[in-house]
A = this chain, B = another copy of it.
């Protein structure tokens, strides 16, 4: 693989930043990789893991001379980062992010971006329930989609360069306008996480069923939800606060549909239940056919269960 950027600055080095760092190193895509984190522990750990070539606490310092700046912080922190790095960004640098909401990130970062840089917001649709620099791994983005939400004034050459970068990491790249991205993500990602957090909270609060029973018998469905509900609290708090409108719309629809289902259960309307439960099967099939999930029963974890 050949060098795509002389110097890359990674602002934030958790699961996503840490995975990008590992891919860059594994593929030899940059000569220098500056890692920055506002948390001294995280920065120290990144250095122990050898994720970059330099480690600096100050984001403004980190982006100096960088050709590519990737901001991988909880979306609520992106405005502050933009403000910090604005004055030291190199002319012609590409500045991107990996945040799960785009309208809010643009609103926070764009006002600080000097005209001499290419600001191209992005969102790799990849991750696990783990967080922190240790959670990252080579290949996280492989076979996953990355959505870029370029602005009307975005330079096509810079966009092409960023697209190539993500493709080299194994991603398939799509472009979308920011509000549409936020709606799509509200249903495929934000609502599922909120629902998962909610049901795990409901179970935790029961008086008639003990917590140890919930844990013991979780393999019957509940455990799937606990995985999502183990995701990073700061990241997800910020997502909820920064994609509020789309999330509230999806929540309202979800609750409406649930009320319909609840009524069908109360009145014993088996045909309505059967119709819904049949329709949803087809969607699973399409997801497996599209290569977006494994077809192995139980996500293939049965084999791991037996260990």
Contact = CB atoms under 8 A, between A and B. Distances in A.
Contacts of A204: 279-280, 283
Interface residues of A, number: 114
Contact of A284 (B139, B147, B198, B229): B229
Contact of A305 (B145, B211, B280, B294): B294
Contacts of A143: 305-306
B192 A222 contact: yes
A188 B201 contact: no
A198 B195 CA distance: 11
Contact of A202 (B125, B200, B238, B257): B257
B126 A219 contact: yes
A163 interface: no
Contacts of A226: 280, 283-284, 287, 293
A118 interface: no
A220 B248 CA distance: 18
In the complex, the count of this chain's copies comes to 2
A157 interface: no
A165 interface: no
B192 A225 contact: yes
A48 interface: no
Contact of A224 (B224, B234, B251, B305): B224
B262 A227 contact: no
A219 B262 CA distance: 28
Interface string A178-204: 000001110111111111111111111
Contacts of A255: 255, 258-259, 262
A149 B149 CA distance: 56
Contacts of A306: 139, 142-143
A200 B200 CA distance: 19
Contact of A257 (B201, B227, B284): B201
Interface string A274-307: 1011111101111100101110111111101111
A65 B241 CA distance: 65
Contacts of A193: 221
A287 B233 contact: no
Scoring A147, A218, A240, A305 by chain B CB atoms within 10 A of each residue's CB, the highest score goes to A218
Given A236-B273, A266-B244, A202 B187 contact: yes
Interface in A112-147: 125-130, 135, 137, 139-140, 142-145, 147
Contacts of A304: 294, 296, 299-300
A201 B261 CA distance: 10
B217 A188 contact: yes
A195 B195 contact: yes
A215 interface: yes
A2 interface: no
Contacts of A135: 297
